[in-house]
Structure formats: structure tokens, C-alpha cells
């Protein structure tokens, strides 16, 4: 029995990576859930919005690096993030102007917006591939580790090491700031409350003098910030590839639905639930079990429930289980 | 009903025909025919999705998964069995799959037969965990044994070695089975969650095809799937064919390639015509009217005693079967299964563009959309290259931007599809050939 | 199928992609082509004729007026066009004839939200509160168009509906039917309206709660806000009404003070039940 080492292994390979991934999914799901709550449709272009924002951040980072501007131990991308958010906000508002606003005037049913978002998805996907190509891009710089595995071992004298990458720490910190800011905005400010009111009851919001167009614009602005931040953090943590971002749509949708569509707290819970299940189910628990069991009882197999290639299956199964038992998601859905 | 509408439809079909004929005259008949063959398959795909969306309003974003299942059926039916692999661990894998199925059935039985409570939950968890452990123990050994058999050439179980045409209906049945499972679960929930369910399942199906090497050779691909039509080389050695070529004054090599493509086109055409005939019959039957009634007002249809969920499940299964069949035809046409080639943009969302652009709820519209969008999907790339070349012709040779623009021109097809979808949705929201 | 290709119901049931809750339904169709001379009542819907969209006319030459400081009540049998008349006054009906004037100003061409800004408070029959928000937030949202200090008005609302003060941190959707109606009226009062319009405020509440609500409505009227109200419970409504309109098939059948109408044998016979 060696509980300490078991915990360290678990932290290093499951809990820390899953927390970072969960934070990224949660930010993505928050964007999806906001659009669902206020514009009342599931935005299939969300993954590509994240890709677009991240692409701008990457290009800007490269520019800064070429100019010799860095943030020291922190990744330069953080400096480029505001630019990415601003341009993505412009893109989204432009899209709203060119595409969605027409359907609002037509009082179109939500499914029309879904189909329109498919078109937007194609275009954004094309734009990103056109500008930056289809390949992997890495853009993290600065200090790679907050604590490296070796330093941790030297410090504690344990057999197992624990590494915390800078990108993981930044992910959690930035995500936390973003979430707190969002909740403060939605629950404490007049504009935030008017967004919740609009989501709750569009007619009554209109009768209360809330301007729908303004609510929608602010929503896109927030979504741009959330999507760009989520995408940049994911890219720093792993790597940027347009197709991967497109595929993030599934775990992000799953997180938003599991949490209860339209409910921000649910989106965050859903993000972490999906991330922890994905990492947990596809992790080989051999070492952990080895440390926990008596000496020499180390299992022969990998103790891996599913190969990592089946991580989609995990998000999906969780989704199904939650929906079977709580049809509206963990938190009651469809409210902001 | 009205003549104007029919004329418009005929004119649109004629316009698309001009596109294909133009390709034949300007580029080559070989290219035109290969686009046409995939156009036929696309039309069938669009018909299948139109059944679900047009007839019933079911939003299936997992088309790719059903297409892939059709492809899998082709491998399972047409590829000759790998005897050594079967001897090494085939039965073990089959046994494992049976065990897995038994576990799930047992768990469902426990869940439905026992009264709710601790005992039931505990029983189900124990059965699931125990069953999974047992399944993996039997399964893993079999998989390792099978995949070790000559991995460079086989390393999988192969198929049944039956004629490949058998795979088409089987692909439909396979997809229908999967659709039934999905529909039963997702349509049974208190609200519909079909979109996310299909999105998830299709990714899972692709993951299985990519990773279960014993079944599909995974990323090593299954090549050389037997064909329903003769090979070019065989044709070139057949006396009557060389004779015919000589009489027509054509090159036997290129003529053999066209001949093969024409044979495929003939087979596909038969399937498409049969499907259209059935679709039109169904659409105009009392069943079709009921489906539309349900689609347009679920509440009142339910009040009139229609079993909405059962009808939705029925049409979802039917549409998926058509899509699965198209998937099998596609793999037959390529005579290879490449799991990594299944991408949602190409196999799910492009089909959606076909249906929306063609006309949701109109079988002819879906067919038109299939042909038109597929042609554009292929031809926008060379057109984009041309455009980029003309744009960049003024730029300096070897300029960075010029190289980038020329290289990136290939991605213009995605933007084009998006723009077309948005334009049609905005200016002709019912599609090019609207539902009557 | 509707005429508008974007409003077919196909595919809208899938909640994983479409969010049916709280979808906006208000369509602004204000105005007629024929402006008319104005009159003296504080609010008047003058000889209104019109229906929904391009549909048949529901109102026929129907006139509804509210004098300053008075309670006006629209009553009538089911399907008489009571709520429709109120919607017409509020700019949610295509008028083919007639005009609507507030305080002498012609507002026939204004959208509903513009009428709110002009000082008309409207409490719809259903969906009249933000269920997911707290009582206090509901009141805040009611005052959204105001830029001045709203605390005083909120105090007045709390004074009028003391229960709301106790429940102010609670989600409005968790309240009882009567309390919800109080929130709804309170929300409308937060705009400091020059006039309050209530569409069947007592629908679905128990008789005791109904009496209490009527008392509160009288109190609101006493603060000087004229009230236009559609009511199902004709007898009680007419008892508190300064002015009553009995509509039958979209037409003014009887008009008079509440007492007159209650005493009118024809009104009694035809739908007060003797």
C-alpha cells in the first residue's frame, strides 16, 4: 500500500489534465448555452468560432514574437488574447448582421437558425483553413512548467512525480476569472439581468423596454470572448488544429446539454463532468491500482476501460445516462 | 400540380445536366462520369435524409455514421474471409461479442423486471461491471491473435466472400438496425434529443471503424474490395471489347475506364429510380399524408390518435437504411474502405446542404440538390484555383502571399458551400424545387 | 403550414438544438391608413376594426375609452374579442380602421414597446412574469426604461403588495398564482405608467385571492393611475368599474357605468346569469 504515490499518479495523469480540459470545455459550453438561452438555437458554428478566435491569437502571437515582445514566463498568447476577442466579436456581429438578423425580423423558428448556423459553420471553417491551413500549430512559449516532474520528486522524495504545466495553471486561473466575471455580469448588472430577462420571456422583456437587438449584440460579444478564450487555452494546453476544434463541438454540446441547456452553472458542471469521465475512463489505472494494492499484486492488464480513441463514446454515454434520469440536465435547463 | 412549377423543375434538372455534359466536353468524359457516379450516390443520400427531415422533421446530424456502416457492410459481405485469422481467434471474438450482448440484455432485463430500489441498481451495476470484465478478457485475447495474422496484408477477419451487390441491402439493414437503437433511445426521452444523439453515435461508429483493426483493419484500410463490374484490364483483353473500340476508333484503355464507370452508373441509376419510385409512392400515400400531418402539427396529430413516436422511429429507420445503402454503394464504387476519410463536413453536413438547397420535403428536389451540390463540391476546387491564379497573376513570382493563396484555394469549396446554403435559405427558403 | 417559410414547425421539437421556451410571439402590426380626429378621454381606442395578420376582422367598429383616474372594464362572453380589443389598444393587432390615442396624442402607429415608453403599462394574461428571476429582479426589469432612482417606486410596490417584500429574493416562478399576479402588476407599475392595462388578472386564482386582487387594483386606481382591465368574472369586475364595456362578437353591445350595466336587465339576462 502506498497511498501517497497513488494519489500523486492520479493527480498527475487524471485530475490535473481533466481539470484543465474541463475548464476549456466549460468555457466552450458556456458560449453554446448562452446562444441557446438567448438566440434559442444550438450554434453548430461554435467550434469554428473557437478556431477563428484562436487563429487570430496565434497570428498575433507570432507577430509579437517576431517583434520581440513576450510576457516572460507567461505565454505571449495572453497578450494577444484581447485582439483575438475583438476580431472574433467583429466577425460574430458581422455574421449576425448578415445572416441571423434577417431571420429575427422574420420571426423565424429556431430550427431555421440552426440550419443557417450550418452555413456559417462551413464559411468559418473555410476561412480558418484558408488563412492558417489544416496543420497543427503550436504557439505556447514562456516557462513550460510551473512544477516539473523532476523538481517535484526532488522536493518530496516520492517515487512518482507531479508536473503542472504553465498552460494548465493558466487555463484554470483564466477560466475561473472568466466564469466569475460572467456570473457577476449576469446576476449583478442591469444589462446582464436584461439578458436573463430576455432569455426567460422575450415578450415581457420587450414590454419592459428591453431592446432585443442590444441584448443579442452583447450576447455575441460575450460569446466571442468565451469562445476565443476557450480556444486559446485549449491550443496552449494541447495544440491548434482546425479539425480538432470542429470536433470539440461534440463534447461541448454534450457538456451544455448534460448541464441543462441554457443554464450557465450547468454548462460549467457539464464541462467538468465530461472532461473527468473522458480522462478517467480512458486512463490506464494500472499504476494507481498497483500502488494501492499489496506489494507484488500489480495487475497484469493496463486497467484501462476504453482506449483513448473512444473518448467521444464517453461524452456521449454520460449524456445519455444523464438524460435518461434527468431529462432537463443536471441543473434545470433553459434558463439563464 | 401547376405547370409552371413542373417547368421550373425540369429546367433546373436540365441546367444540372448541362453542368455534367459541359464537364464532359470541356474536361473529359472520364471526369464527368466519375462526378456523375458520386452524384448518383449523393442523390440517394439526399433522398434518405429528406425522408427524415422532409417527411418528419427529424434533424439527423449523424449521416456520416450510417454511410460508414454501409461501407462496413461492403467489407463484411464482399471481402473473402481470412481463414487463418478465423482460426487464430475469430470464434473467440464472436464469443466475446455474444457475451457483451448478453450482458447488456441481462442488465436491461434486471432493470425492467425488478422493482426500483437498491437491489435493482446494485444488480445492474454488478452485471455491467462483471459482464464488461468478462467481455474484455475473452475479447482482448482474440483481437490480439487476429491482428497478429499477417498484419501487413490482412490482420482482420475479412468478410463472407459473397457478391458485393448483396452488401447494398445489407448495408441498409445494418444502418437501419443502428437507427432503430438510436431512435428508440433518443426519441423515447421526454423531449427529442435526436440531433445530439446522432452527432455522437456517428463519431462513435467512425471511432470503431478506425480502431477495431480486427474488423476493418482500422487506419490500414481495406483495399481491393471485389467489384460488381469487370475490371478495366479484363475488358482490355476481351476480344469483343477491343473490337468495339477499334470500330469506334477509340483508345481501348480510356474506353475501358469509361465502360466501367458506365456500368456503375447503370447499377446506381437502377437503385435511384427504384428509390424515387417508392419515395414518391410513399409521399402520395395515406402514410405520407399522415407523416406530413404529424410533422406540421404534432399535437393535433397525437390528439387524433396517431402514434407520433412510432411513426418518427419508423421514418428515421427507413431514411437511415437508404443512407446506409448509399454508403455501401459508395464503398463499392471506391472498392476500398478508408475509415479516416469519413469526415462530418463531407458526409453529414454536405448532405444537409444538398437537401436544403434542393428542397426539403421534395424527393425530386433532394435528387437535384444531390447532383448539383456534388458537382459544385468537386468543381469549385479547380475553379478556385483558376480564380486564385488570375488574382495572383499580378503578384511577384515566389511571393509569400501568392504561394499561400494558391495553396489555400482548395479550401474555397467549404466557403462556397456555406455561401450557397445561406443564399438559398435566405432567398428561396423552401429550396430550388419546393415541397408542394 | 403557414405562409412564412421560416415559421414551419418542422424539426423544432428537438430540444438539443432548438430552445422553445420563452420564444417571442409579439408581432408589431400597429396603425391604420386612416388617421382620425382626436377626442378627450385619457386613453381611447376609437372605432377600431381589425384582426390578426391578414385574417378576418375580429373587432368591428369597437370603441374603448378610459377617463383619468377611473377603472374601465371590458367584459363579455367567451370569444367576444375582449382580449383582442385590449391588444388592439396596445398595437398588437392590424387595425384597418380607427385610431388609438393616449392623453390626446395619436399613438395608432406606435409599436407596443413604444407605447410602453409613452407610459402604458401592460400586464399580459399569461407569461407575465420572469419565472427564473427573483421578485426583486422582476421589479427591476419592469423599470428597465427608467434611468432615475427606482427605489422609491419599489417601496411603493412593496407597500401595495407587502407579501412581495418578504419574497423578494425568491424566484418568481416558485410563487403561488395570486402572488405571481401581484409580481406581474408590480412589474408593470415599476415603469411609473400613466395608465395600467390588465388582461384577465384573476384568471386561474381562487375566489379569496381574487377578492384581494380586486382590492389591490382599486388601491392602484386610487393612486391616480387609470386602469383598463379585461375580466372574465363580469359581476365582480363591474362592481368596481367606473365604466364598463360589454362586447359581443367584437362589437360594443352595452356601455355605461358599472352600476348601470349591473342593473341593465338585458345585460343581466344575456350573460350575468339573471
C-alpha cell at C233: 368574472
Residues of chain C in contact with residue A42, where contact means CB-CB under 8 angstroms, are 16-18
Nearest to A311 by CA among B177, B206, B215: B206
What percent of chain C is predicted at pLDDT more than 70? 94
Q: What is the 3-state secondary structure (H, E, C) of B214-248?
A: HHHCHHHCEECCCCCCCCHHHHHHCHHHHHHHHHH
Find the residue in B nearest to A301 (Cα): B137
Over residues A77-108, the pLDDT tens digits come to: 999 999 999 999 999 999 999 999 999 999 99
Over residues C4-29, the pLDDT tens digits come to: 788 877 777 787 888 878 888 777 76
What domain range includes position A143?
2-325
- Spans of all domains in chain C: 5-10+23-271
Residues of chain A in contact with residue C131, where contact means CB-CB under 8 angstroms, are 200-201
Find the residue in B nearest to A111 (Cα): B59
Place of cell 417571442: C24
Domain B2-81+158-387+409-427 has CATH 1.10.10: no
A284 inside 8 A of chain B by CB: no
- Spans of all domains in chain B: 2-81+158-387+409-427, 82-157
Q: What average pLDDT score do residues C120-126 get?
A: 93
Residues of chain C in contact with residue A100, where contact means CB-CB under 8 angstroms, are none
Q: What confidence score (pLDDT) does residue C2 get?
A: 57
Find the residue in B nearest to C3 (Cα): B430
Q: What confidence score (pLDDT) does residue B301 get?
A: 87
Residues 6+ positions from A330 with CB-CB distance below 8 Å = A258, A259, A260, A266, A269, A270, A273, A322
Q: CA–CA separation, B59 vs B192, rounded Å?
A: 10
Q: What confidence score (pLDDT) does residue C22 get?
A: 80
Q: What confidence score (pLDDT) does residue B324 get?
A: 97
Residue A194 included in any domain: yes
Q: For residue B294, give how far its alpha carbon lies from the nearest alpha carbon of chain C (Å).
A: 9
Over residues A153-175, the pLDDT tens digits come to: 888 888 888 889 999 999 999 99
Over residues A181-216, the pLDDT tens digits come to: 999 999 999 999 999 999 999 999 999 989 999 999
| Better pLDDT: B189 or C85 | C85
Q: Are strands B222-223 and B336-337 parallel, antiparallel or unpaired?
A: antiparallel
Per DSSP, the three-state class of C199 is strand
Alpha-carbon C144 to chain mean position:
19
Among A139-153, A220-234, B93-107, B166-180, where is mean pLDDT lowest? A139-153
Q: What confidence score (pLDDT) does residue C29 get?
A: 62
DSSP string for residues in A222-283: HHHHHHHHHHHHHHHHS-B-HHHHHHTHHHHHHHHHHH-TT-HHHHHHHHHHHHHHHHHHHS
Nearest to A207 among C16, C112, C137 (CB): C112
CA distances from A220 to A4, A96, A104, A206 (A): 46, 8, 15, 19
Q: What confidence score (pLDDT) does residue A145 get?
A: 87
For residue C38, is pLDDT > 50?
Answer: no
Q: For residue C201, give how far its alpha carbon lies from the nearest alpha carbon of chain B (Å).
A: 28
Nearest to A240 by CA among A131, A128, A132, A138: A138
Alpha-carbon B353 to chain mean position:
14
Residues 6+ positions from B183 with CB-CB distance below 8 Å = B194, B312, B313, B316, B317
Q: CA–CA separation, C77 vs B365, rounded Å?
A: 49
Find the residue in C nearest to A40 (Cα): C19
Instruction: Round the average pLDDT of chain C to a whole number and report it.
Output: 87
Q: For residue A225, give how far its alpha carbon lies from the nearest alpha carbon of chain B (Å).
A: 24
Q: For residue A317, give how far its alpha carbon lies from the nearest alpha carbon of chain C (Å).
A: 15
Q: Identify whether the C-beta of residue C160 lies closer than 8 Å to the C-beta of residue C85.
A: no
Q: Which of A83-92, B213-222, C264-273 has the highest mean pLDDT?
A: A83-92
Q: What confidence score (pLDDT) does residue B5 get?
A: 81
Q: What average pLDDT score do residues B174-196 get?
A: 86
Find the residue in C nearest to B295 (Cα): C10
The answer to whether the CB atoms of A119 and B418 lie below 8 A apart is yes
Find the residue in C nearest to B56 (Cα): C10
> Phi first, then psi: what are they for B64, rounded to 5°?
-50, -40
For residue A336, is pLDDT > 70?
Answer: no
Alpha-carbon C110 to chain mean position:
17
Nearest to B14 by CA among B433, B430, B308, B382: B433
List of E strands, A200-271: none
Nearest to A110 among C19, C129, C142 (CB): C19
Over residues B282-301, the pLDDT tens digits come to: 999 999 999 999 888 888 88
The answer to whether the CB atoms of A115 and B414 lie below 8 A apart is no
Q: What confidence score (pLDDT) does residue A224 get?
A: 98
Q: What confidence score (pLDDT) does residue B375 get?
A: 97
Q: For residue B255, give how far its alpha carbon lies from the nearest alpha carbon of chain A (Å).
A: 37
Among A315-324, B320-329, C35-44, where is mean pLDDT lowest? C35-44
Instruction: Give the number of other Cβ atoms within 10 Å of residue B125's Cβ.
Output: 12
DSSP state for residue A190 in the 8-state scheme:
H
For chain C, the chains sharing at least 3 beta-carbon pairs closer than 8 angstroms are A, B
Q: CA–CA separation, A21 vs A234, rounded Å?
A: 7
Supply the CATH number for residue A179's domain: 1.10.3470
Find the residue in B nearest to A327 (Cα): B190
Nearest to C16 among B195, B361, B429 (CB): B195
Q: Identify whether the C-beta of residue B179 lies closer than 8 Å to the C-beta of residue B65.
A: no
For residue A178, is pLDDT > 70?
Answer: yes
Adjacent-strand bridge partners of C43: C66, C102
Q: CA–CA separation, C238 vs C244, rounded Å?
A: 6
List of E strands, A266-316: none
Q: What confidence score (pLDDT) does residue B333 get?
A: 96
Instruction: Give the number of other Cβ atoms within 10 Å of residue B430's Cβ.
Output: 18
The answer to whether the CB atoms of A122 and B356 lie below 8 A apart is no
Interface of C with A (CB under 8 A): 4, 6-12, 14-27, 112-113, 116-117, 122, 124, 127-133, 137, 140-142, 144-145, 187, 191
Total residues found in chain A within this entry: 336
The answer to whether the CB atoms of A250 and B199 lie below 8 A apart is yes
Over residues C214-260, the pLDDT tens digits come to: 999 999 999 889 999 999 888 889 999 998 999 888 888 888 888 88
Q: For residue B67, give how far its alpha carbon lies from the nearest alpha carbon of chain A (Å).
A: 18
The answer to whether the CB atoms of A207 and C116 lie below 8 A apart is yes
Nearest to C190 by CA among C225, C135, C144, C229: C144
Residues of chain C in contact with residue A206, where contact means CB-CB under 8 angstroms, are 24, 26, 112-113
C-alpha cell at B73: 457492410
Burial class (CB in 10 A: 0-12, 13-18, 19+), A20: buried
Residues of chain C in contact with residue A200, where contact means CB-CB under 8 angstroms, are 22, 130-133
The answer to whether the CB atoms of B57 and C11 lie below 8 A apart is yes
Q: CA–CA separation, A131 vs C8, rounded Å?
A: 38
Over residues A116-129, the pLDDT tens digits come to: 999 999 999 999 99
CA distances from A134 to A126, A127, A247, A300, B91 (A): 10, 11, 13, 40, 42
Q: What percent of the residues of chain C are helix, what percent strand, and what percent coil, each to the nearest 5?
A: 35, 25, 45
Residues 6+ positions from B293 with CB-CB distance below 8 Å = B300, B301, B304, B306
Place of cell 419508423: B314
C-alpha cell at B349: 453536413
Q: For residue C260, give how far its alpha carbon lies from the nearest alpha carbon of chain B (Å).
A: 44
Q: CA–CA separation, C262 vs C104, rounded Å?
A: 30
Residue A336 included in any domain: no
Q: What confidence score (pLDDT) does residue C33 get?
A: 44
Over residues B61-97, the pLDDT tens digits come to: 999 999 999 999 999 999 999 999 999 989 999 999 9
Instruction: Round the average pLDDT of chain B to a whole number and report it.
Output: 91
- Predicted TM-score (pTM) of this structure: 0.91
Q: What percent of the residues of chain B are helix, what percent strand, and what percent coil, each to the nearest 5?
A: 80, 0, 20
Residues of chain C in contact with residue B195, where contact means CB-CB under 8 angstroms, are 14, 16-17
The answer to whether the CB atoms of C17 and B196 lie below 8 A apart is yes
The answer to whether the CB atoms of B195 and C1 lie below 8 A apart is no
A120 inside 8 A of chain B by CB: yes
Place of cell 377617463: C67
Q: For residue C12, give how far its alpha carbon lies from the nearest alpha carbon of chain B (Å).
A: 8
Complex ipTM value? 0.93
Q: CA–CA separation, C207 vs C198, rounded Å?
A: 18
For residue A335, is pLDDT > 50?
Answer: no
Q: What architecture (CATH level 2) is domain C5-10+23-271? A: 3-Layer(aba) Sandwich (3.40)
In which band, very low, low, confident or very high, does the pLDDT at B397 lie, cut at 50, 70 and 90?
confident
C-alpha cell at B118: 437498491
Residues of chain C in contact with residue B296, where contact means CB-CB under 8 angstroms, are 1, 8-10
Helix or strand holding residue C100 (H, E): strand C94-102
Q: Are strands B336-337 and C227-230 parallel, antiparallel or unpaired?
A: unpaired
Q: For residue C206, give how far its alpha carbon lies from the nearest alpha carbon of chain A (Å).
A: 25
Alpha-carbon C58 to chain mean position:
18
Nearest to A200 among C9, C133, C187 (CB): C133
Q: What confidence score (pLDDT) does residue B302 get?
A: 86
Query: B249: phi > 0 → left, psi -120 to 50 → alpha, else beta; which?
Result: left
Residue A248 included in any domain: yes
Would the CA dihedral through B94, B99, B103, B105 be positive or negative? positive
Find the residue in A nearest to C27 (Cα): A107
Q: What confidence score (pLDDT) does residue C35 get?
A: 41
Q: Identify whether the C-beta of residue A35 lies closer than 8 Å to the C-beta of residue A223.
A: yes
Residue A334 included in any domain: no
Q: For residue A260, give how far its alpha carbon lies from the nearest alpha carbon of chain C (Å).
A: 10
What percent of chain B is predicted at pLDDT more than 90? 64
The answer to whether the CB atoms of C19 and A196 lie below 8 A apart is no
A299 inside 8 A of chain B by CB: no
For chain B, the chains sharing at least 3 beta-carbon pairs closer than 8 angstroms are A, C
Q: What average pLDDT score do residues A40-66 get?
A: 96
Would the CA dihedral through A185, A188, A190, A196 be positive or negative? positive
In which band, very low, low, confident or very high, does the pLDDT at B175 lie, cut at 50, 70 and 90?
very high
What counts of helices (H) and strands (E) characterise chain C?
Answer: 10, 10
Amino acid at each position: 500500500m502506498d497511498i501517497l504515490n497513488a494519489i500523486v499518479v492520479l493527480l498527475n495523469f487524471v485530475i490535473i489534465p481533466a481539470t484543465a480540459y474541463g475548464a476549456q470545455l466549460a468555457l466552450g459550453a458556456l458560449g453554446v448555452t448562452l446562444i441557446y438561452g438567448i438566440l434559442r438555437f444550438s450554434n453548430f458554428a461554435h467550434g469554428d468560432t473557437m478556431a477563428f478566435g484562436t487563429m487570430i491569437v496565434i497570428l498575433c502571437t507570432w507577430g509579437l514574437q517576431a517583434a520581440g515582445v513576450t510576457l516572460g514566463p507567461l505565454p505571449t498568447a495572453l497578450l494577444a488574447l484581447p485582439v483575438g476577442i475583438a476580431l472574433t466579436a467583429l466577425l460574430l456581429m458581422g455574421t449576425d448582421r448578415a445572416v441571423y438578423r434577417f431571420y429575427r425580423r422574420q420571426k423565424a423558428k429556431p430550427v431555421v437558425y440552426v440550419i443557417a448556423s450550418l452555413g456559417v459553420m462551413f464559411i468559418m471553417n473555410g476561412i480558418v483553413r484558408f488563412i492558417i491551413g489544416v496543420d497543427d500549430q503550436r504557439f505556447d512559449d514562456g516557462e513550460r512548467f510551473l512544477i516539473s516532474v523532476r523538481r517535484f520528486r526532488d522536493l518530496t522524495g516520492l517515487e512518482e512525480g507531479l508536473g503542472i504545466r504553465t498552460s494548465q495553471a493558466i487555463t484554470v486561473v483564466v477560466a475561473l476569472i472568466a466564469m466569475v466575471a460572467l456570473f457577476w455580469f449576469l446576476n449583478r448588472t442591469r444589462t446582464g439581468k436584461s439578458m436573463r430577462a430576455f432569455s426567460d420571456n422575450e415578450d415581457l422583456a420587450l414590454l419592459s423596454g428591453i431592446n432585443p437587438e442590444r441584448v443579442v449584440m452583447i450576447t455575441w460579444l460575450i460569446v466571442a470572448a468565451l469562445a476565443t478564450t476557450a480556444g486559446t487555452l485549449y491550443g496552449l494546453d494541447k495544440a491548434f488544429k482546425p479539425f480538432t476544434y470542429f470536433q470539440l463541438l461534440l463534447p461541448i454540446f454534450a457538456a451544455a446539454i448534460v448541464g441543462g441547456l441554457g443554464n450557465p452553472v450547468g454548462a460549467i458542471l457539464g464541462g467538468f463532468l465530461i472532461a473527468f469521465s473522458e480522462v478517467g475512463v480512458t486512463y490506464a489505472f494500472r499504476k494507481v491500482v498497483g500502488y494501492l494494492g499489496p506489494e507484488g499484486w500489480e495487475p497484469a492488464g493496463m486497467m484501462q476501460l476504453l482506449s483513448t480513441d473512444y473518448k467521444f463514446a464517453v461524452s456521449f454515454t454520460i449524456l445519455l445516462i444523464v438524460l435518461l434520469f434527468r431529462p432537463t440536465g443536471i441543473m434545470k435547463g433553459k434558463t439563464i | 400540380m401547376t405547370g409552371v412549377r413542373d417547368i421550373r423543375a425540369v429546367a433546373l434538372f436540365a441546367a444540372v445536366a448541362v453542368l455534367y455534359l459541359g464537364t464532359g466536353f470541356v474536361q473529359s468524359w472520364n471526369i464527368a462520369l466519375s462526378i456523375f457516379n458520386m452524384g448518383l450516390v449523393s442523390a440517394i443520400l439526399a433522398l434518405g435524409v429528406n425522408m427524415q427531415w422532409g417527411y418528419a422533421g427529424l434533424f439527423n446530424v449523424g449521416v456520416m455514421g450510417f454511410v460508414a456502416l454501409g461501407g462496413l457492410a461492403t467489407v463484411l459481405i464482399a471481402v473473402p474471409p481470412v481463414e487463418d485469422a478465423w482460426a487464430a481467434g475469430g470464434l473467440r471474438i464472436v464469443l466475446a461479442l455474444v457475451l457483451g450482448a448478453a450482458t447488456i440484455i441481462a442488465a436491461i432485463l434486471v432493470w425492467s423486471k425488478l422493482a426500483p430500489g437498491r437491489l435493482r441498481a446494485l444488480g445492474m451495476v454488478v452485471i455491467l461491471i462483471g459482464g464488461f470484465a468478462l467481455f474484455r478478457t475473452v475479447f482482448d485475447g482474440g483481437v490480439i491473435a487476429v491482428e497478429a495474422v499477417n498484419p501487413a496484408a490482412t490482420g482482420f477477419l475479412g468478410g463472407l466472400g459473397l457478391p458485393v451487390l448483396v452488401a447494398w441491402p445489407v448495408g441498409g439493414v445494418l444502418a437501419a438496425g443502428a437507427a432503430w437503437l438510436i431512435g428508440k433511445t433518443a426519441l423515447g426521452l421526454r423531449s427529442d434529443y435526436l440531433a445530439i444523439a446522432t452527432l455522437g453515435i456517428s463519431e462513435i461508429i467512425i471511432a470503431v471503424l478506425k480502431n477495431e483493426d480486427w474488423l476493418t483493419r482500422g487506419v490500414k484500410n481495406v483495399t481491393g474490395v471485389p467489384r460488381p463490374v469487370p475490371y478495366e484490364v479484363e475488358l482490355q483483353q476481351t476480344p469483343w471489347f477491343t473490337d468495339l473500340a477499334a470500330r469506334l476508333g477509340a483508345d481501348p484503355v480510356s474506353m475501358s475506364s469509361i465502360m466501367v464507370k458506365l456500368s456503375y452508373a447503370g447499377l446506381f441509376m437502377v437503385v435511384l429510380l427504384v428509390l424515387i419510385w417508392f419515395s414518391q409512392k410513399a409521399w402520395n400515400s395515406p402514410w405520407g399524408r399522415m407523416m406530413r400531418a404529424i410533422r406540421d402539427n404534432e399535437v393535433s396529430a397525437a390528439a387524433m390518435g396517431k402514434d407520433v413516436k412510432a411513426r418518427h422511429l419508423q421514418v428515421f429507420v427507413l431514411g437511415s437504411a437508404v443512407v446506409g445503402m448509399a454508403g455501401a454503394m459508395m464503398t463499392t464504387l471506391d472498392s476500398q474502405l478508408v475509415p479516416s476519410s469519413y469526415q462530418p463536413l463531407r458526409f453529414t453536413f454536405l448532405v444537409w446542404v444538398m437537401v436544403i438547397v434542393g428542397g426539403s420535403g421534395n424527393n425530386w428536389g433532394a435528387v437535384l440538390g444531390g447532383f448539383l451540390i456534388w458537382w459544385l463540391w468537386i468543381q469549385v476546387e479547380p475553379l478556385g484555383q483558376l480564380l486564385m491564379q488570375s488574382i495572383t497573376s499580378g503578384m511577384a513570382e515566389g511571393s509569400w502571399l501568392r504561394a499561400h493563396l494558391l495553396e489555400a484555394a482548395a479550401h474555397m469549396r467549404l466557403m462556397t458551400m456555406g455561401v450557397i446554403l445561406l443564399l438559398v435559405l435566405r432567398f428561396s427558403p423552401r429550396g430550388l424545387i419546393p415541397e408542394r | 403550414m403557414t405562409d412564412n417559410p421560416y415559421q414551419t414547425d418542422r424539426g423544432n421539437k428537438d430540444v438539443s438544438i432548438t430552445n422553445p421556451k420563452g420564444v417571442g410571439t409579439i408581432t408589431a402590426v400597429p396603425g391604420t391608413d386612416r388617421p382620425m380626429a382626436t377626442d378627450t378621454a385619457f386613453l381611447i381606442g376609437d372605432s377600431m376594426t381589425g384582426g390578426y395578420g391578414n385574417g378576418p376582422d375580429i373587432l368591428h367598429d369597437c370603441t374603448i375609452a378610459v377617463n383619468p383616474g377611473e377603472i374601465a372594464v371590458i367584459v363579455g362572453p367567451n370569444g367576444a374579442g375582449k382580449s383582442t380589443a385590449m391588444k388592439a389598444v396596445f398595437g398588437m393587432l392590424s387595425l384597418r380602421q380607427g385610431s388609438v390615442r393616449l392623453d390626446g396624442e395619436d399613438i395608432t402607429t406606435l409599436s407596443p414597446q413604444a407605447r410602453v415608453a409613452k407610459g402604458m403599462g401592460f400586464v399580459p394574461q399569461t407569461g407575465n412574469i420572469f419565472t427564473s428571476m427573483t421578485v426583486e429582479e422582476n421589479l427591476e426589469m419592469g423599470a428597465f426604461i427608467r434611468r432615475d432612482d427606482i427605489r422609491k417606486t419599489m417601496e411603493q410596490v412593496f407597500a401595495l403588495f407587502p407579501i412581495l417584500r418578504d419574497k423578494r429574493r425568491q424566484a418568481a416562478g416558485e410563487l403561488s398564482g395570486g402572488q405571481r399576479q401581484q409580481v406581474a402588476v408590480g412589474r408593470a407599475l415599476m415603469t411609473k405608467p400613466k395608465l395600467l392595462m390588465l388582461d384577465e388578472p384573476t384568471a386561474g386564482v381562487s375566489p379569496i385571492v381574487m377578492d384581494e386582487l380586486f382590492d389591490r387594483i382599486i388601491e392602484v386606481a386610487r393612486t391616480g393611475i387609470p386602469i383598463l382591465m379585461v375580466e372574465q368574472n363580469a359581476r365582480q369586475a363591474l362592481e368596481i368599474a367606473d365604466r364598463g364595456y360589454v362586447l359581443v362578437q367584437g362589437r360594443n353591445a352595452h356601455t355605461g357605468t358599472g352600476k348601470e350595466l349591473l342593473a341593465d336587465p338585458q345585460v343581466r339576462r344575456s350573460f350575468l346569469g339573471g
